[in-house]
A and B are shown apart, each in its own frame.
Chain A
Amino acid sequence: MKNRPELSLHIPEPASRPGGEPDFTALPLQDAGEQRCPDTLAPESELRDMPYGLVRVLDDEGKAVGPWAPDLPADHLLKGLEAMVLTRIFDDRLFRANRQGKTSFYMKSSGEEAIGAAHSLCLGERDMCFPTYRLLSWLMARDYPIVALCNQIFSNAKDPLEGRQMPVLYSAREYGFYSISGNLGSRLGHAVGWAMASAYRHDDSIAIGYVGEGTTAEGNVHEALTFAAVYRAPVILCVTNNQWAISSYSGIAGGDRTTFAAKALAYGLPGLRVDGNDFLAIHAATKWARERALGNKGATLIELVTYRQAAHSSSDDPTRYRPKDEAEAFPLGDPIDRLKQHLIVRGDLTEDAYEALHSDCEKRVREALREAEAIGTLGQSKPSVKAMFEQVFKEPDWRLIEQRREAGY
């Protein structure tokens, strides 16, 4: 008789499926203010508990508490709030535009707006962001022209990327925003290379790169972490853990076994786990990692715990794989509500002022949309087909010149 159990194959399953009760009991949490704040230059060996905690600043009442509470002026916070509100409104309008056939595709960042906004405002003008498709609030916080976003999404005659990219795969060098590629995880190594170049040149700028928690399974990510650790690159590597990678829950990427921040441990990097719906916590953690990087102590891995409130993309229907009301049950709330409440508690915002901000943002998006629609939505206008043959090489070779002529341009 065997005294061992038979082997059985384990396939992880989320706590609940459509029709079930949302259940986040397995998500390790900590109260606001509880996580310690180590010295930015502390040796990594003293930071190994950090990936298992959760950096939080805003408590349930909207007060900023604990050692991570940053000292930020009201206008900074209001700017962040505005970027987040603008992003949410823009997302809703453009998602609708997709349903109306005005664009082929759209991706929302709903629920994750605090991340891009806080990072954009926290990092320096010369720092470079290596984004994913859910970082629109980075551009909003830096006042990237909304109409240019619409033109890109509509692939119209004024598309800043000349019709070469899918909607939302922006590039905006002047705004510290690297070109987005469709290949998941492929740019994390570019962020490390950029940071290494900055260190090599004795510069004072850093890079920040992002992947979703699902993408942490890609080899690219482990390559980037290895290089970041080996060469002590001044880079912040972020995992935005929004719980879902299309229909696969975070456990499919290994999230049931340990935290994503804890991946840092094996590389000898500090890992911070941060409330990704808490603008202040994100800001403080990013500042911490930036100071560490500029202190020549190298890279930090930051997991931002958040929730993808909307569909993965305009081609996805999340009600088919997760409970409808899961977003409301997410224990870290909504990032816009939380920052708004904090500003009200501080006395820097009133409900009326918020309503005014909201309708001003709506107006700006409406106007930009109108302007872009006048130029054309998908298929109504497009950049010159000549542009299709440009920017392949610095100078076109004979093939491109001949083929452009053959195509009639």
Chain B
Amino acid sequence: MSAMNMVQALNSALDVKLGEDPDIMIFGEDVGYFGGVFRVTDKLQEKHGLTRCFDTPISEGGIVATAIGMGAYGLRPVVEIQFADYILPAFDQLVSEAARLRYRSNGEFWAPITVRVPYGGGIFGGQTHSQSPEALFTHVTGLKSVIPSNPYDAKGLLISAIEEDDPVIFFEPKRLYNGLFEGRPDDPVKPWKNHPLAEVPEDIYRVPLGKARMIREGEAVTVLAYGTMVHVALSAIEECGIDAELLDLRSLVPLDIDAIVESVQKTGRCVIVHEASRFAGFGGELSSLVQERCFYHLRAPIERVTGWDTPYPHAFEWDYFPGPKRIIDALQRTQEV
């Protein structure tokens, strides 16, 4: 065990898997010699060799297409898209090819690829360095979508993702890369060092896909969150003193529906939090699932706290960002009925 931030934990996951399985290779823009713009692949090329971790042309479509071909051959490529915002040039490859290869070939070919994408806001990245495009992918059957919220899960989930035979989009909340973040613009990011979930085993371990983590038990309301929003929601809960139960979903596909239903049936109330825009966002799906499965247990309308339906703004970042205040308002509304 040692204390790691999320970048180090992800690096460690890649490192141990490269060491264990010669079929794994890592590539993407600037990931080789330089170790990636966020340093997640730092020293991997030096340690494991040029052919195991290398730079690619600036061509997201090319990166994913190449990975699919390698995956079909029998390798397990792990590719990095430098920012989630730039996954769109690869969208066709992910949607039309990776997601459907197994289905359309009746199991003759499949794409065991992992696509790592740093995502999310709170870093003054403007429209092109802040987006949370998870709903674009959760809507596409055949892809899995995973989002860790802490270093321990990040390593364990990434190892599970790499070992998956289905294509996984692995969203990394870049605001959490170096430390905890409680959602206020003037909050400094606190180093992960003193957080229990920064204690990360050096060896291989797995966090299974499709299992939510209970962050905090409570009786008054269920809060569903993932990625950065887990920490923002936790600070909101602590601040307002409402006895909320907080679930970190960890993967959206597969989704831990049982944990969600069990919790909402117990508390009778539900607040859904995500960074992405609201309309047709993943929160809409969660809300519908809760309504379908917990209707007779619900004692208040389901609340959604999300980004607004605007492009991600620069100067208005903190007006857009679903911070603790908006979450507290929603929590309180659920208690008034």
In angstroms, Cα B62 to Cα A390, docked, is 29
Would A392 and B104 count as touching, CB distance under 8 A?
Answer: no
In angstroms, Cα B265 to Cα A373, docked, is 54
Would B72 and A178 count as touching, CB distance under 8 A?
Answer: yes
In angstroms, Cα B93 to Cα A226, docked, is 16
Q: Which of B33-64 contact A (CB under 8 A)?
A: 51, 56-57, 59, 61-62, 64
- Partner of A194 from the list B25, B61, B64, B73 (CB cut-off 8 Å) is B73
- Residues in B with CB closer than 8 Å to A195 are 69
Would B108 and A172 count as touching, CB distance under 8 A?
Answer: yes
Bitwise, A157-176 to B at CB < 8 A (1) or not (0) is 00011101100010111000
| Interface 9-mer from A1-9, A34-42, A393-401 | A393-401
In angstroms, Cα B109 to Cα A178, docked, is 8
- Residues in A with CB closer than 8 Å to B192 are none
In angstroms, Cα B297 to Cα A97, docked, is 57
In angstroms, Cα B92 to Cα A181, docked, is 12
Confirm or deny: B165 has a beta carbon within 8 angstroms of a beta carbon on chain A.
yes
Minimum distance in angstroms from A52 CB to a CB of chain B: 27
Would A193 and B69 count as touching, CB distance under 8 A?
Answer: yes
Would B61 and A223 count as touching, CB distance under 8 A?
Answer: yes
- Residues in A with CB closer than 8 Å to B127 are none
Would B106 and A391 count as touching, CB distance under 8 A?
Answer: yes
Would A173 and B109 count as touching, CB distance under 8 A?
Answer: yes
Would A190 and B69 count as touching, CB distance under 8 A?
Answer: yes
Confirm or deny: A85 has a beta carbon within 8 angstroms of a beta carbon on chain B.
no
- Residues in B with CB closer than 8 Å to A393 are 102, 142, 144, 166
Name B66's closest neighbour in chain A (CB-CB).
Answer: A193
* Total residue contacts A-B, CB cutoff 8 A: 142
- Residues in B with CB closer than 8 Å to A187 are 65, 97
Confirm or deny: B246 has a beta carbon within 8 angstroms of a beta carbon on chain A.
no
Confirm or deny: B74 has a beta carbon within 8 angstroms of a beta carbon on chain A.
yes
In angstroms, Cα B168 to Cα A342, docked, is 53
Confirm or deny: A183 has a beta carbon within 8 angstroms of a beta carbon on chain B.
yes
Would A223 and B59 count as touching, CB distance under 8 A?
Answer: yes
Minimum distance in angstroms from B58 CB to a CB of chain A: 10
Would A193 and B110 count as touching, CB distance under 8 A?
Answer: no
In angstroms, Cα B51 to Cα A200, docked, is 7
Confirm or deny: B68 has a beta carbon within 8 angstroms of a beta carbon on chain A.
yes
In angstroms, Cα B59 to Cα A178, docked, is 23
Minimum distance in angstroms from A299 CB to a CB of chain B: 13
Bitwise, A174-205 to B at CB < 8 A (1) or not (0) is 00001101110011111111111110110000
In angstroms, Cα B66 to Cα A207, docked, is 12
Minimum distance in angstroms from B128 CB to a CB of chain A: 19
In angstroms, Cα B110 to Cα A179, docked, is 10
- Residues in A with CB closer than 8 Å to B93 are 186, 189
> In the complex, which of the residues B74, B108, B109, B255 has the most CB atoms of chain A within 10 Å of its own CB atom?
B108
Bitwise, B271-310 to A at CB < 8 A (1) or not (0) is 0000000000000000000000000000000000000000
Q: Which of A196-239 contact B (CB under 8 A)?
A: 196-198, 200-201, 207, 219-220, 223-224, 226-227, 230
Q: Which of A223-263 contact B (CB under 8 A)?
A: 223-224, 226-227, 230
Minimum distance in angstroms from B151 CB to a CB of chain A: 27
Q: Which of A363-391 contact B (CB under 8 A)?
A: 391
Would A197 and B62 count as touching, CB distance under 8 A?
Answer: no
- Residues in A with CB closer than 8 Å to B254 are 397-398
Are A186 and B92 CB-contacts (below 8 A) given A179-B108, A192-B66, A393-B166? yes
Bitwise, B62-100 to A at CB < 8 A (1) or not (0) is 101111111111110100000000000100110011001
Are A197 and B59 CB-contacts (below 8 A) given A190-B97, A394-B166, A397-B253? no
Q: Which of A136-165 contact B (CB under 8 A)?
A: 160-162, 164-165
Would B96 and A223 count as touching, CB distance under 8 A?
Answer: no
Would B69 and A197 count as touching, CB distance under 8 A?
Answer: yes
Would B66 and A179 count as touching, CB distance under 8 A?
Answer: no
In angstroms, Cα B178 to Cα A317, docked, is 61
Minimum distance in angstroms from A233 CB to a CB of chain B: 9
Would B72 and A161 count as touching, CB distance under 8 A?
Answer: no
Would B70 and A227 count as touching, CB distance under 8 A?
Answer: no
Are A189 and B25 CB-contacts (below 8 A) given A394-B110, A397-B254? no
Would A194 and B65 count as touching, CB distance under 8 A?
Answer: no
Would B62 and A186 count as touching, CB distance under 8 A?
Answer: no
- Residues in A with CB closer than 8 Å to B59 are 223, 226-227
In angstroms, Cα B89 to Cα A196, docked, is 21
Are A194 and B107 CB-contacts (below 8 A) given A183-B96, A186-B65, A397-B253? no
Minimum distance in angstroms from B23 CB to a CB of chain A: 8
Minimum distance in angstroms from A279 CB to a CB of chain B: 28
Would B104 and A190 count as touching, CB distance under 8 A?
Answer: no
- Residues in B with CB closer than 8 Å to A197 are 69-70, 73-75
Name A209's closest neighbour in chain B (CB-CB).
Answer: B69
Would B69 and A183 count as touching, CB distance under 8 A?
Answer: no
- Residues in A with CB closer than 8 Å to B164 are 394
- Residues in B with CB closer than 8 Å to A169 are 104
In angstroms, Cα B107 to Cα A160, docked, is 11
Minimum distance in angstroms from B259 CB to a CB of chain A: 12
- Residues in A with CB closer than 8 Å to B77 are 193
- Residues in A with CB closer than 8 Å to B106 are 160-162, 164, 171, 391
Confirm or deny: B210 has a beta carbon within 8 angstroms of a beta carbon on chain A.
yes
Confirm or deny: B2 has a beta carbon within 8 angstroms of a beta carbon on chain A.
no
Bitwise, B130-165 to A at CB < 8 A (1) or not (0) is 000000000001101000000000000000000011
In angstroms, Cα B97 to Cα A188, docked, is 12
CB within 8 Å of B: which residues of A? 128, 130, 160-162, 164-165, 169, 171-173, 178-179, 181-183, 186-198, 200-201, 207, 219-220, 223-224, 226-227, 230, 391-394, 397-398
Task: List 4 extra interface pairs beyond A130-B69, A187-B97, A393-B142, CB under 8 A.
Answer: A160-B106, A161-B106, A188-B65, A219-B89
CB within 8 Å of A: which residues of B? 25, 51, 56-57, 59, 61-62, 64-75, 77, 89, 92-93, 96-97, 100-110, 141-142, 144, 164-166, 210, 253-255, 257
Closest 6 CB pairs of A and B: A193-B69, A189-B65, A223-B62, A190-B69, A179-B105, A197-B73
Report 10 cross-chain contacts, Cβ distance below 8 Å, ordered by A residue.
Answer: A161-B106, A165-B104, A179-B104, A179-B105, A187-B97, A189-B61, A190-B72, A193-B67, A198-B73, A391-B103
